[in-house]
């Protein structure tokens, strides 16, 4: 599933090609996504101009201004689901199977949405980021000043939940999915099975720093290619080559050489080093 670094990689990849461009045609090949494609999508988008793209958690926000004297527009809320990707194509480039939606731009570029499982969606943003129910209860961005060890420590008091699913809770901090939670806990030396409420403030400071380090490195590397993820330009991510624990159960720890262990936490597989993580 595309996580925060993959979505941010997509945003950075497609933004230079779409921002400021006018939409000349909208082609919907498959409207039955997790949320049905809005019936008025074509009517509202043709002739509109795309604004500056942003991201909130794993959502892409695509604003546009409508033609006419007032220039009033709206914002598309785009989620890639489990297998979705957005890439830039060109006129004449035939769509592949599972290419469900095209936004054709005035320079001949196409913003093309591909989603084999159809668990993603594109929908209108209801109101503002703060009022849309899909965004209203989200925690802070992990690379923002609002996220730090103090927040983790305060939110964890009295919690018997294991620290790994606690860290993956979007109400605590957004976008720290299974891959990056496992990697951050390894860097911070914290056993993912430990109760969140029994971890000290000092260790949460280390964990917050590790989350920032892991996510920043993953974004720099273009995300982690698992199965068929590609960024906005069609290039795969390379962070998988740097994974310390995720997907490496039974292999030696890169730090101490001990055999990595596999457990299930919150119905998700979690690999860790029983020697380095305590």
Q: Binding site for DNA, residues?
A: 98, 117, 159
Catalytic residues: 2-3, 58, 268
What do you get for the CA distance between the two ends of the chain, in Å? 28
- Tokens 């670094």: give the residue: 5
Q: What is the largest CA-CA distance in the chain?
A: 67
Q: Cα 267 vs. chain centroid, distance in angstroms?
A: 20
| Residue of 94, 83, 124, 106 whose CA lies nearest to 26 | 106
- HSE-up (13 A, CA, CB side) for residue 155: 19
Query: What is the pairing mode between strands 109-114 and 85-90?
Result: antiparallel
Q: Which two tokens stand for residue 206?
A: 């280390």
| Residue of 7, 16, 30, 17 whose CA lies nearest to 89 | 17
71 burial type by CB count under 10 A (0-12 exposed, 13-18 middle, 19+ buried): exposed
| Residue of 263, 217, 4, 27 whose CA lies nearest to 122 | 27
| Residue of 109, 140, 150, 115 whose CA lies nearest to 35 | 115
Query: What is the pairing mode between strands 85-90 and 73-79?
Result: unpaired
**Binding site per annotation, positions:** 98, 117, 159
In 3-state terms, what secondary structure has residue 135? coil
């Amino acid at each position: 599933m595309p996580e925060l670094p993959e979505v941010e990689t997509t945003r950075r990849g497609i933004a230079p090609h779409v921002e400021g461009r006018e939409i000349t045609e909208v082609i919907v090949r498959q409207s039955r996504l997790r949320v049905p494609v809005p019936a008025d999508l074509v009517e509202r988008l043709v002739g509109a101009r795309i604004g500056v793209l942003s991201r909130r958690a794993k959502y892409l926000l695509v604003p546009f201004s409508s033609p006419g004297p007032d220039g009033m527009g709206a914002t598309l809320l785009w989620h890639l689901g489990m297998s979705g990707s957005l890439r830039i194509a060109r006129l004449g480039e035939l769509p592949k199977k599972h290419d469900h939606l095209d936004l054709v731009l005035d320079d001949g570029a196409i913003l093309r949405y591909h989603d084999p499982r159809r668990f993603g969606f594109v929908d209108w943003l209801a109101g503002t980021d703060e009022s849309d129910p899909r965004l209203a209860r989200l925690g802070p961005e992990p690379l923002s000043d609002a996220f730090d060890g103090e927040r983790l420590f305060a939110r964890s008091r009295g919690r018997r939940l294991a620290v790994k699913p606690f860290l993956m809770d979007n109400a605590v901090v957004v976008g720290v999915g299974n891959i990056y939670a496992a990697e951050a806990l390894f860097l911070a030396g914290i056993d993912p099975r430990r109760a969140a409420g029994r971890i000290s403030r000092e260790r949460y400071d280390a964990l917050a720093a590790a989350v920032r380090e892991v996510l920043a490195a993953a974004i720099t590397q273009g995300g982690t290619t698992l199965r068929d993820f590609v960024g906005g330009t069609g290039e795969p991510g390379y962070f998988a080559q740097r994974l310390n624990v995720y997907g490496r159960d039974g292999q030696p720890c890169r730090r101490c050489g001990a055999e990595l262990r596999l457990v299930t936490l919150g119905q998700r597989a979690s690999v860790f080093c029983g020697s380095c993580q305590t």
